[in-house]
Structure 1
């Protein structure tokens, strides 16, 4: 298999998905039939070349699908090579329709292609595709499968192209993406904010956003869509937008799939199998994943509390561990009743356990009394989790192209059981037990959604409208201390009920030289909370509108401008709202605030894309203003205790520029570089404290990719993040590096991958926070370097080289660089 086929294989599933749209033909034609002499051609097939109707240049990577002319069942398919040639082999005698599609072009259908025993080879010379008048979501930087592809309203991270994700999760795939930040615990933020929504195949998940990203294996992900300014069609939740995880689903006929296994440092073991079976109108998918791993490290901190006439000091040094074990099973069915009606049903079941433990030494003293009191504390949290998700969708396409209605429903549930044990000893001349607790917690989540989307083309314009209802219930119950029960003490029983009902409308189309998309979403929400131990209840009912605007202007083929605006919302999490007072180590107590209001954000982006022969440049100017920003507040209490609570602290803004560039020096060397610079400000106060702060933030990333021959790829990446402000202090600068290796064997069926993260072991996070009567410093260091090595075996894929004659100046090698499905 040649190099081009290696590049094409990972994108076949993505490209074939577009074959099912009910596009209307834009002209028809039948090329002359005829066979070639023995030894030059296979027994039967359909071949040809696809070109741009205006420029007459070849259209590479266009989708070509063959349907039975009688019942419209998909028979076979392929993709054009970089010279526009395609060939679909082993086509039985019969009459077929052939549909050709590619991003940015109108689809083209050739009707009643007849393959007979006397005329087994049908050839087409120069099938012309006409550029589409409106394709708002199809402005891409390149037709090839780059690691990050830019579209008008999103960035698409192609996980299959990133060799640094071996043995990793969605977090590892995002780690080197412009605008994305990953902290020491694997938590993701977008341009400095962790307020985003995670979808899986466009649907909500039972897991929280960062939990989903940390638990879904990278090997099962086709791509991740980063949508920083979503249209009105999407839920407005997530201040910085949406991360939509698209899972792999193969559309090739018969049985195919892959088996993978990975082993790494810190007891990381991963294994998985994914299967896909397609026959006629039915497609079945299924898989199993096992993941074991974690993030361990050490920490140190210094807390200063300013009292009347003296200062209290508390120093801490500790070791922390975080281990997960997960088993996940998924299954799905796609059924095409005909070329107008499609049904999809999917399900996922997951069980897992998580162990978080820590050991810490504390030293307490004052600046007036030199005596030091030492403590030793341990904590052990054991979690068991079970969740399942069921979703279905039905699509009906009308006769007119893009005229369709889509109905979707989903239900998810999750049960969590936690056991939390803490113990603190005083290390005086005689060691004695100072404190010991054990609590049990159960948490149950239920979430159901129903949605209808309707699309109606009107001339060159398009109207979209729809509705969605979402119901969510969360029940939280934590017992009091089991070891030292307090008579009459009440358990921490908290209830959260949420109902959200929305309607939306959108209009898109051309306007002179512009392409536009206007949207408006109206949403009614009702949130009810109750802390049963105190009978404290709270109800918030809100109706809000969320406008969205998107524009695109193409100066010429190499220069484009895009702009977008959206209004977003972030609703407080349940543990932000729960007013029950809890303690984790005797020094810090936490209390939620049920009076918190949702955060609202205005987000504006302006993009400029410049294309070169071997390079591209993307410049993005962005502004985000968040009102009612929710901040974590530290409040010193009597003695050595600090209260952690939450408040709406007024406003947070980010204004900056992000520049991304890619250059291909040779066919075997490419470099991606991104730089972002933005001013981050916090304006507000809480509990009488002025929390205003600001910082000028810089982020630099670079990734080099080297190809050695057809089967070996090497990569190296690095990133630097400058200091950044927080509500009561700042986070200091840090940097990170990594290397990857990928080697394919046996005609691309077997892949050996390896990666090493932070090989120099010098990564740390350092935070400082301060107020009128306190000052804290906190450092976290993960255990680095981390190393993983993995094997992946793919089966059921077509890997045979074809032998073909020439046509229109094409050679056998031209056709060998295309893609067919036997």
Structure 2
């Protein structure tokens, strides 16, 4: 029957079936502490046959829909005795309380993992639990973001945005990295991500940077008892990967590790036609060849000092190399013969992150003090050599050395069961040295250096009050930023000082168990930083960046409303937002006489933005789940500087269908539509694609094989038209959209520790933090 339904589905046939199911919900608690137990397994049996199962959420709560007859529940979690509760003992199916007793001897684990990405709505954020989404198997985190409607990505350009704006702050485990966000996401495998937090209305606890919000990627931490290891290997279109991760956990210490190597290539072709106002023309065809190799080591130690004190130490080292090879064929150039321009360049960088985190927990729930220190060092080497018709023009070598130190202290105090007060502070310092060596044919060599220092102090206070179904969260943050820079080639300096307050207000109303409504306000800022004032930035034969040390800060006031419904078969969410921005920092574009696109940031005026996001998921059958997600964003610009368009908009849609064909075999078919995107100086025509993924699980789920095809029909070309004050440019970009990927992964417990162990409590720690 399942295969008969799958076949007409490709012809867009749709079948709806309703079934009457009973819903059981409740909580799992610790017998001694009475605290809830997050991620405990709740399994449903009919005699010896497993009927259904789930895991509790981060609050220890669960909800199960059971259509079949069953005899009893079995509840388990590592470090606890298994608990069996008969069906006849359940008195109120909407308020079940399971109690787990700590175990002196360790027990085998039962793992139930969802096949589909799910979301949770919190008072100030939306949490995307990646689960075991088939479209993310073997993919990078950037690829995984492409499957999340709330995050807008472009796999061709590597761009990342929220709600139509690229002013996004990216965090990994609540902390920044000195690496470029796109490169960082391309290095992280999606399988290492536990959840993604989309914070479009950040509270005062979060640093105020990132006008459109914060994307916080929470990585998995291996912490199972005993000695555990996971192996994975993948191959696909011009890419491969392999790695090993695991942990060794005894009663008071846990050692975790993750080693991986990834190789990735890409071929893309770009055709550009330029027409100047004076009648001059220039066309060029640019095949881009890219190859990258990344090696990563992530390791750490967790010390469980006692029941109330934990210390974690982590080290993350990445060595990454990218090579770029471009032969650009120029034709139809006014007053010039056709010619070939060659640029061979590369990017070699090393990144070291060191983190120390200490938490002491007091007697009362949610009463703790936490200290965090983060050190990040990113060294970049970017050499390039240029030729025209095989004649040497010049070679250059850019270096960027970026050091970041960050300290944070957070304190949480529950005054009563209904009132929680949080306070804390953070300091981060950045030191950047950027240099450019240039050797021009027939000219003397030059060497220029730019130095930048930045210090940011932040202090916040936050109060959370619960009154019946209403929860209020009020916060205020103060930040003081001081930055200094000097261009040693011409002694040009900048001395910037900014001191500002940032309020936040959030209200959450639980209408009932299935319906939640949130409203939020936050004030955000985008300050001039080293990316805006560094004169030695990326450039090639197509574009260049120009520094502007005279930028002023941009401020944004954000209002939003979120709604979420979670039913037995149907779940839905919707979000509406309005954003008012002043002294907007816009990327201005101009094409010079040589056809090079010059980019410079400048303050242009005001922006009024609004938008809507919506998602509906429906379980058509027990083995078929369908989800439709869409968004629309619109911005009006009141500017005092020339823009080609002052009405900006974008929208996209994802239609995802997942099938549980059998116990071992699953499939996913996703359709993505990007509608016309209108920017200040260009617009992109609509485009679409179909992605397919299949997974086969063997050996009691210890071995998994995944096949994924992105852009099945290979038609996801980008058509872009740019208009500046003196040039109209038409562009067709055929990047390597269609890719095939195969992933093989295996997990195995080498041995189970039989001694008494203590499980580290899961905590929703949000770093108040550092600047990106």
Is TM > 0.5 for Structure 1 vs Structure 2?
yes
Match of 2:434 in 1: 476
Q: What's the secondary structure of 2:696's corresponding residue?
A: strand
1:10-58 Cα shifts (integer Å, max 9, x gaps): xxxxxxxx9999995389xxxxxxxxxxxxxxxxxx99999xxxxxxx9
Residue 606 of structure 2, aligned match among 626, 646, 651: 651
CA distance in 2, matches of 1:47, 1:594: 56
The structure-2 alpha-carbon separation of the partners of 1:20 and 1:499, relative to structure 1 and needing over 3 Å to count, comes to farther
Q: Report deviation, 1:746.
A: 0.4
Cα 1:60–1:763, aligned 2, differ >3 Å: closer, same or farther? closer
CA distance in 1, matches of 2:432, 2:182: 18
1:445: how far off? 0.7
Shift of 1:556: 1.8
User: Which runs of 5 or more residues in structure 2 are unaligned?
Assistant: 1-26, 45-51, 66-71, 83-93, 108-112, 753-772
Aligned-pair CA distance for 1:402: 1.0
Structure 1: which 4+ aligned runs deviate by more than 4 Å? 18-24, 46-50, 77-84, 87-93, 104-111, 113-116, 143-146, 580-583, 636-642
Shift of 1:105: 10
Shift of 1:581: 8.7
What is the CA RMSD across the aligned residues, in angstroms? 3.5
Q: Indicate the larger mover: 611-620 or 574-583.
A: 574-583
> What residue is the counterpart of 2:709 in the other structure?
756
Deviates more, 1:405-414 or 1:727-736: 727-736
**Aligned equivalents of 2:78 and 2:377: distance in 1?**
46
| Unpaired segments ≥5 residues, structure 1 | 1-17, 28-45, 51-57, 66-76, 94-103, 122-142, 426-431, 800-822
Alignment of 1:170 onto 2:141: yes
> Is the Cα contact below 8 Å between 1:564 and 1:605 reproduced in 2?
yes
Contact 1:759 1:784 survives alignment (8 Å): no
* Equivalent position SS for 1:796: strand
Distance 1:462 1:107 in 2: 25
Choose from 506, 509, 519 the match for 1:550.
506
User: 1:225-624 maps to which residues of 2 (within 5 A)?
Assistant: 225-266=197-238, 268-307=239-278, 311-366=279-334, 373-425=337-389, 433=391, 436-459=393-416, 460-481=418-439, 483-484=440-441, 486-487=443-444, 490-572=446-528, 574-579=530-535, 584-585=540-541, 588-624=543-579
Contact kept, 8 Å, 2:504 with 2:522, in 1: the verdict is yes
In 2, Cα distance between the equivalents of 1:691 and 1:545?
35
Aligned to 1:683: 638
Match of 1:732 among 664, 685, 690: 685
C-alpha deviation, 1:533, in angstroms: 0.9
Instruction: Give the Cα separation in 1 of the matches to 2:137 and 2:529.
Output: 32
Partner of residue 652, structure 2: 699
**Counterparts of 1:315 and 1:385, CA distance in 2:** 34
SS of 1:491 mapped into structure 2: strand
The higher radius of gyration belongs to: 1
Preserved contact between residue 681 and residue 692 of structure 1 (Cα < 8 Å): no
CA positional deviation for 1:317: 1.0
Q: Distance in 1 between matches of 2:750 and 2:570?
A: 32
CA displacement at 1:716 relative to structure 2: 1.0
8 Å Cα contact 1:298-1:319 kept in structure 2: yes
The answer on whether the counterparts of 1:720 and 1:733 sit within 8 Å (CA) in structure 2 is yes
Secondary structure of the residue that 2:438 maps to in structure 1?
Answer: coil
Aligned to 1:25: 34
Q: Distance in 1 between matches of 2:145 and 2:481?
A: 32
Q: Is the 8 Å Cα contact of residues 750 and 794 (structure 1) preserved in structure 2?
A: yes
Distance 1:530 1:485, change over 3 A: farther
1:761–1:785 Cα contact (<8 Å) kept: yes
* Deviation readout 1:59-116 (Å, 9 max, x if unpaired): 9634899xxxxxxxxxxx99998775315799899xxxxxxxxxx99999778x8999
Query: Aligned partners of 2:704, 2:652: CA distance in 1, in Å?
Result: 33
Distance 2:666 2:431 in 1: 48
- Provide the aligned length of Structure 1 versus Structure 2: 692
**Deviation of the 1:454 alpha carbon:** 0.2
- Distance (Å, rounded) in 2 between the aligned partners of 1:695 and 1:533: 39
Contact 2:28 2:97 in 1 (8 A): no
Residues 64 and 80 of structure 1 are in contact (CA less than 8 Å); yes or no, is this contact kept in structure 2?
no
Aligned to 1:194: 166
- Name the structure 2 match of 1:85: 74
